[in-house]
């Protein structure tokens, strides 16, 4: 799979909350995908306690990715999203 295949892909939690879509992928110096930068949905922004702005963004570690298919599933649920997703300013 190429990184371009992930850009724009929807991201959801285990319980089906639409977190948003992949905007960028952060790569380490040793060429490993470290985290996903997401454009957040209104519901996800509300869950983590940030005000819904024009382009709310957040970062999630790739270690929390459970699977990739038609969408990316995170290994967390709605109630634990605040710990998994860091707001990006």
pLDDT tier, 89 (very low <50, low <70, confident <90, very high otherwise): low
**Using the 8-state DSSP alphabet, how is residue 75 labeled?**
S
**What are the pLDDT digits (tens) for 38-67?**
999 988 888 888 876 678 899 999 999 999
Half-sphere exposure of 2 (CA within 13 A, CB side): 2
> Cα(50)–Cα(54) distance, rounded to whole angstroms?
12
pTM for this structure?
Answer: 0.88
pLDDT at 25 (0 to 100): 96
């Amino acid at each position: 799979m190429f990184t371009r295949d992930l850009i724009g892909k929807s991201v959801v939690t285990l319980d089906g909350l639409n977190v948003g879509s992949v905007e960028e992928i952060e790569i380490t110096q040793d060429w490993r995908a470290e985290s996903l930068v997401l454009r957040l949905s209104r519901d996800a922004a509300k869950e983590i306690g940030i005000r819904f702005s024009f382009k709310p963004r957040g970062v999630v570690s790739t270690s929390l990715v459970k699977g990739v298919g038609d969408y990316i599933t995170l290994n967390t649920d709605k109630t634990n999203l605040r710990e998994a997703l860091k707001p990006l300013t």
